[in-house]
């Protein structure tokens, strides 16, 4: 996830998040916390590639659906809302959540389309 090539970082974001979502209960908490920290504290702010930042936002939908995962992310106090200043990321967030209706962490989320 920390490769010099932005394409490798982008693909690794998707792969790591799929592993986290699929095997969340089997992964030790310290390992999952470290991976989430890399995703949300480093790769979400990747200045060299919009694609990497967008990949993090796309996978966040699945990661936030796991209550214990969203609690870890919240405890890290990473200011993810600041990412919305990027137009590309804003469009991606809207498209990712446009058809999503369900739990995000311990909150129920319903997206209203205007």
Tens-of-pLDDT digits for all 114 residues of the chain? Answer: 888 999 999 999 999 999 999 999 999 989 998 998 898 888 888 888 888 888 888 888 788 778 788 777 777 766 666 665 554 555 655 665 555 555 444 444 444 333
Q: Model-level pTM greater than 0.85?
A: no
DSSP 61-111: HHHHTSHHHHHHHHHHT--GGGGGGSHHHHHHHHHHHTT-EEEETTEEEEP
Can you tell me the distance from the alpha carbon of 3 to that of 18, in angstroms, rounded to the nearest whole number? 19
């Amino acid at each position: 996830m920390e490769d010099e090539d932005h394409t490798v970082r982008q693909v690794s974001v998707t792969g790591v998040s799929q592993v986290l979502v699929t095997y969340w209960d089997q992964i030790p908490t310290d390992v999952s916390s470290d991976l989430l920290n890399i995703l949300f504290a480093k790769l979400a702010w990747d200045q060299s590639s919009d694609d990497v930042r967008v990949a993090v936002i796309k996978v966040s939908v699945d990661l936030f659906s796991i209550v214990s995962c969203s609690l870890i992310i919240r405890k890290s106090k990473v200011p993810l809302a600041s990412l919305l200043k990027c137009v590309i990321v804003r469009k991606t967030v809207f498209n990712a959540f446009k058809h999503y209706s369900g739990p995000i962490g311990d909150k129920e989320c319903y997206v209203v389309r205007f």
